[in-house]
């Protein structure tokens, strides 16, 4: 088990030290992670990254080397007293975590994760939790749109080279979770059993004396393969592959040019040759928008998607935040004009009708009102007293995501660009929550 | 030394196996990494990520566990013969690498890295090289724009929570390399000695009975600090900090609202109180565009920049590619209409005049023509026969970057949005290179 204790913002440690030195670090706190507003071009989120976050919490401790490193931070010098160092040495995450399991469809202002822990612990973990869940949820949410756009055709994730090498492994996992069929990333196969796919690059063809010779060599080792046909001339390349490799050609990949026109031309050629079973794989700067166009004007079976899913390029950051909602049993709220947070510990209740998601209620954890009687609570226990209790894995999350995407109402399935202020889905605060917020506002007015 | 042998696309392994089985894997090859076209909103690149790439090459080997994992990949089954497994077990990178050192300013079509190695090795390393250099160069190039926009004011990197936790460490490093003063990321301090900064979050204030009490507690442990003043009311918050902490207030941080107006108001208050030495730190969704506005209409000393530098949100992918330019001593080129690559092994020659960069010549490695007599070659030896030979580190790279940014002509320093097709800097192919390209085109025409 590795520890990522230093994968954090320095201020988490200065605050932790300050809580400790003022003896506030054990005060019971509740924090929640949520997204205030969906990014532009997103009508829903697919939650991902929880497993990595739970692994972090489980492994969290400060090694001697890490404590020595902290002593070297100029700003921390005065804080590293013997008793605080002792506290760091013994530090473990002992809190409770509730979360939406990976693959859950979520919306704005809904807690994806709720942490109940001593204040010092709840504080320290903020950065890593946000980092891992923001990144993976951003990717899964983008990938889910690609899956919807493909309407049942398989998607392959090829984006490793366009993102950080470690991020790429989690990109492959998040895309698979959201419904991609496979990834080119071999580490993701080893670590998460994400199916690995890939055949050849242009370089392979160029390193050979001819395209035909390259195909022959490749086919002698990999008898049923996808052939990359666009190194010199796409349609000619298909002919070379069919002539040289015959039934060994199970698919052809088109990676440049006018994919709509070329894919139709290639299909006609395949039909003329009686090779209806040969799949056409398209790639090259694809995303959900290009795929929607290609499904109308092109003719393909599989899409390879790289850069744009690996970077979520039309919404490259998810602004998930992590806020204190309760301290020492007292609900707290931020009341600034543009950034209201709801006080108290929350549950999200999902209402469905006719097999579709109809709306969500944001309520309190102990909510038992008529409003949520028929609804499904989305946050489930993930850790109790620092021990993982959620029986989940990537395969289950993928099934969950698929079933939730099938329940999306039509308006959320639309693949059009949209503004971040556009509103497509209703998250209603419960009456009980509304009353609590009003009472806190009234108390604040009185105090002022 | 860790190995990242599986951090690759599967097709690198299928191609490697195919080269091996056809006995082509030892053929001498030269590959180059370059960016065909600068992304929108970028007028230059700052090279970064080389150190991580060299560490990868130095540590590259297949462990027994990794070889077992490869045996499980369905597509590789037939390729994993005993002799190929033996080859993988003994695999080391034995090639030569030339590269632009980190912190170098670079442009389109210029090789950032050149690899001369046996074909199998040159092929396998493509994915990791692209991944690490694309990501770090993207971040450093964005960060350099923030540094230019600030015109000497310090920048702090706060973006960890909005990117993958491992990518965040390299974001901190790349931003520091490009001229940022510090980062909040503690792991980057431990790993790379990037100065660590940070004080308190809104949560810290909200966990206290009052803002005043929070400041008092914090100041008792950290006597000279930056106080976060906008939890309730920014200007009131400054008064509370000054009243409660006096000369302990070395800076105030404004993290919300109309930063231009608030920073001026806060400066006036500080002057009225005779506290001219107190710094004003601004943050909240800043980037180079917002900073240009704030330098005109606001009054601040330091900028904290997070999400937008950590994701390079206005150009969230760098499309660096890695192409075969020579095989078995024979220069090769891709001649498709939209994607010409220059044949042969290249050097970039930089011409300066009046202390500014004037233009670059893309020439061949052995170029000795009058054209490049006065110019500086930018690619330097980084590895020889798999051994690192470049004496460089982050501190040197940061100095190099600073000196190169100072040499940027005015047109490249402009912080305006621009289209990816706009052209701001000339990279001229040398006469010798032009002749080589023409002779290859002629030979191709003849063959066709």
Are the beta carbons of B161 and A9 separated by less than 8 Å?
A: yes
Q: Which residues of B touch A199 (CB under 8 A)?
A: 11, 14, 75
Instruction: Select the residue from B39, B221, B285, B338 to test the A interface by mutation, using most A Cβ atoms within 10 A.
Output: B221
When CB atoms are compared, the residue of A128, A190, A200 closest to B14 is A200
* Min Cα separation A203/chain B (Å): 6
Please give, rounded to a whole number of angstroms, the shortest distance from the CA of B374 to a CA of chain A.
35
Please state which CATH class domain A10-138+315-447 belongs to: alpha beta
- Structure confidence at residue B337 as a pLDDT band (50, 70, 90): low
- CB within 8 Å: A223 and B119: no
* B332 contacts A4? CB cut-off 8 A: no
Q: Tell whether B418 is within 8 A of chain A (Cβ).
A: no
Q: How far off is chain A from B203, nearest CA to CA, in Å? A: 6
Q: How confident is the model at residue B340 (pLDDT cuts 50, 70, 90)?
A: confident
Which pLDDT belongs to residue A338?
A: 67
Residue B151 has pLDDT above 90, yes or no: yes
B135-164 burial, b for 16+ CB within 10 Å, e for fewer?
bbbbbbbbbbbbbbbbeebbbbbbbbbbbb
The percentage of residues in chain B with a pLDDT greater than 70, rounded to a whole number, is: 99
CB-based contact, B206 to chain A, within 8 Å:
yes
The superfamily CATH assigns to domain A198-305 is Aldolase class I (3.20.20.70)
Cβ contact A204–B70 (<8 Å)? no
> What's the pLDDT at A83?
98
Topology adopted by domain B152-310: TIM Barrel (3.20.20)
- Whole-angstrom CA distances from B281 to A49, A265, B98, B266, B358 are 32, 59, 41, 11, 36
Q: How far is B17 from chain A (nearest CA, A)?
A: 8
* Mean pLDDT, chain B, whole residue set: 96
pLDDT, tens digit (0-9, with 9 covering 90-100), for B94-134:
999 999 999 999 999 999 999 999 999 999 999 999 999 99
CA distance B157 to B169: 11
Residues B435-440: what's their mean pLDDT?
93
Asked if the Cβ–Cβ distance from B132 to A164 is below 8 Å, we say: yes
Mutate to test the interface with B, among A72, A112, A207, A341 (most CBs of B within 10 A): A207
For the cut 80, the answer to whether the pLDDT of residue B339 exceeds it is: no
Instruction: Check if B175 contacts A (Cβ < 8 Å).
Output: no
Contact A186 B18 (CB under 8 A): no
- Residue numbers in A near B165 (CB within 8 A): 4, 7, 128, 131-132, 135
Residues paired with B324 in a beta bridge: B31
DSSP states along B22-82: TT-TTSEEEEEEEESSPPTT-S-EE---HHHHHHHHHH----HHHHHHHHT-GGGGGG--H
| Interface check A316 vs B, CB under 8 A | yes
B443 touches chain A (CB under 8 A): no
Q: Are the C-beta atoms of A16 and A111 separated by less than 8 Å?
A: no
Cβ of A21 within 8 Å of Cβ of B220? The answer is: yes
How much is the pLDDT for B322?
97
Contact B317 A311 (CB under 8 A): yes
Q: Do A15 and B204 touch (CB under 8 A)?
A: yes
Going by pLDDT thresholds of 50, 70 and 90, the confidence category of residue B334 is: confident
Q: What is the CA radius of gyration of chain A?
A: 26
pLDDT at B2: 78
Contact criterion met (CB < 8 Å) for A128 and B327: no
pLDDT tens, position by position, for chain A (448 residues)? 679 999 999 999 999 999 999 999 999 999 999 999 999 999 999 999 999 999 999 999 999 999 999 999 999 999 999 999 999 999 999 999 999 999 999 999 999 999 999 999 999 999 999 999 999 999 999 999 999 999 999 999 999 999 999 999 999 999 999 999 999 999 999 999 999 999 999 999 999 999 999 999 999 999 999 999 999 999 999 999 999 999 999 999 999 999 999 999 999 999 999 999 999 999 999 999 999 999 999 999 999 999 999 999 999 999 999 999 999 999 998 776 667 789 999 999 999 999 999 999 999 998 878 888 889 999 999 999 999 999 999 999 999 999 999 999 999 999 999 988 888 999 999 999 999 999 998 988 887 7
How far is residue B77's CA from residue B445's CA, in Å, rounded to a whole number? 41
Tell me which chain A residues have a C-beta less than 8 angstroms from the C-beta of B307. Answer: 317, 319
B284 near A CB under 8 A: no
CB distance A157 to A309 below 8 Å: yes
Q: What is the pLDDT of residue A337?
A: 62
pLDDT per position as a tens digit, B216-268: 999 999 999 999 999 999 999 999 999 999 999 999 999 999 999 999 999 99
Interchain contact, B11 vs A201, CB within 8 Å: yes
**pLDDT-derived band at B197, boundaries 50, 70, 90:** very high
Confidence of residue B1 (pLDDT cuts 50, 70, 90): low
**Reported confidence tier of residue B202, pLDDT bands at 50, 70, 90:** very high
Cβ of residue A255 closer than 8 Å to a chain B Cβ: no
B135 touches A at CB < 8 Å:
yes
B161 touches chain A (CB under 8 A): yes
CATH number of B10-138+318-447: 3.20.140.10
Chain A from 58 to 77: CB within 8 A of any B CB: 66, 69-70, 72-73, 75
The answer to whether residues A92 and A5 touch, using CB atoms and an 8 Å cutoff, is: no
Does the beta carbon of B311 lie under 8 angstroms from any beta carbon of chain A?
yes
Asked if residues A68 and A447 have their Cβ atoms less than 8 Å apart, the reply is no
Closest CB from A11, A167, A307 relative to B167 = A167
Q: State the pTM of this model.
A: 0.98
**Nearest-by-Cβ selection for A6 from B79, B128, B186:** B186
Domain ranges for chain A, please list them: 10-138+315-447, 198-305
- H, E, C per residue of chain A: CCCCCCCCEHHHHHHHHHHHHCCCCCCEEEEEEEECCCCCCCCCEECCCHHHHHHHHHHCCCCHHHHHHHHCCHHHHHHCCHHHHHHHHHCCCCCEEEECCCCCEECCCCCCEEEEEEHHHHHHCHHHHHHHHHHHHHHHHHHHHHHHHHCCCCEEECCHHHCCHHHHHHHHHHHHHCCCCEECEHHHHHHHCCCECCCCCHHHHHCCCCHHHHHHHHHHHCCCEEEECCCCCHHHHHHHHHHHHHHHEEEEEECCCCHHHHHHHHHHHHHHCCCCCCEEEECCCCCHHHHHHHHHHCCCCEEEECHHHHCCCCCCCCCEEEEEEEECCEECCCCCCCCCCCCCCEEEEEEEECCEEEEEEEEECCCCCHHHCCCEECCEEEEECCEECCCCCHHHHHHHHHHHHHCCCHHHHCCCCCCCCCCCCCEEECHHHHHHHHHHHHHHHHHC
């Amino acid at each position: 088990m590795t520890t990522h204790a230093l994968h954090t913002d320095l201020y988490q440690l200065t605050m932790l030290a300050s809580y400790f030195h003022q003896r506030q670090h054990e005060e019971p706190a509740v924090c929640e992670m949520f997204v205030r507003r969906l990014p532009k071009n997103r009508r829903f989120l697919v939650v991902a990254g929880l497993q990595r976050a739970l692994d972090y919490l489980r492994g969290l401790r400060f090694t001697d080397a890490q404590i020595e490193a902290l002593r070297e931070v100029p700003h921390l010098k005065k804080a590293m007293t013997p008793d605080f160092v002792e506290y760091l040495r013994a530090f473990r995450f002992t809190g409770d975590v509730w979360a939406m399991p990976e693959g859950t469809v979520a919306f704005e202002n809904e807690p994806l994760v709720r942490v109940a822990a001593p204040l010092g612990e709840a504080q320290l973990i903020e950065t890593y939790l946000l980092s891992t869940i923001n990144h993976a949820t951003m990717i899964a949410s983008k990938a889910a749109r690609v899956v919807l756009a493909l309407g049942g055709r398989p998607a392959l994730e090829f984006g490793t080279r366009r993102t950080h090498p470690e991020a790429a492994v989690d990109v492959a996992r998040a895309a698979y979770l959201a419904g991609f069929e496979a990834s080119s990333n071999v580490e993701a196969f080893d670590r998460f059993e994400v199916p690995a796919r890939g055949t050849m690059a242009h370089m392979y063809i160029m390193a050979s004396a001819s395209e035909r010779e390259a195909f022959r060599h490749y086919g002698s080792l990999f008898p049923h393969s996808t052939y990359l046909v666009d190194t010199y001339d796409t349609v000619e390349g298909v002919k070379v592959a069919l002539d040289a490799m015959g039934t060994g050609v199970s698919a052809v990949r088109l990676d440049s040019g006018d994919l709509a026109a070329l894919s139709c031309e290639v299909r006609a050629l395949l039909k003329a040759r009686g090779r209806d079973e040969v799949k056409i794989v398209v790639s090259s700067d694809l995303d959900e928008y290009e795929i929607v166009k290609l499904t109308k004007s092109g003719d393909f079976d599989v899409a390879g998607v790289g850069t744009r899913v690996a970077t979520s390029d039309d919404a490259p950051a998810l602004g998930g935040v992590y806020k204190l909602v309760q301290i020492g049993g007292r609900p707290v709220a931020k009341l600034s004009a543009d950034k209201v947070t709801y006080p108290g510990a929350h549950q999200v209740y999902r209402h469905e009708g006719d097999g579709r998601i109809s709306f969500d209620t944001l309520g309190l954890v102990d909510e038992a009102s008529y409003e949520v009687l028929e609804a499904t609570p989305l946050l489930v226990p993930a850790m109790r007293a620092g021990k993982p209790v959620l029986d989940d894995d990537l395969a289950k999350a993928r099934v969950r995501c698929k079933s939730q995407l099938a329940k999306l109402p039509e308006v959320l399935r639309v693949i059009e660009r949209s503004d971040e202020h556009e509103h497509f889905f209703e998250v209603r605060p419960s009456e009980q929550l509304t009353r609590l917020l009003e009472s806190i506002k009234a108390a604040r007015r009185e105090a002022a």
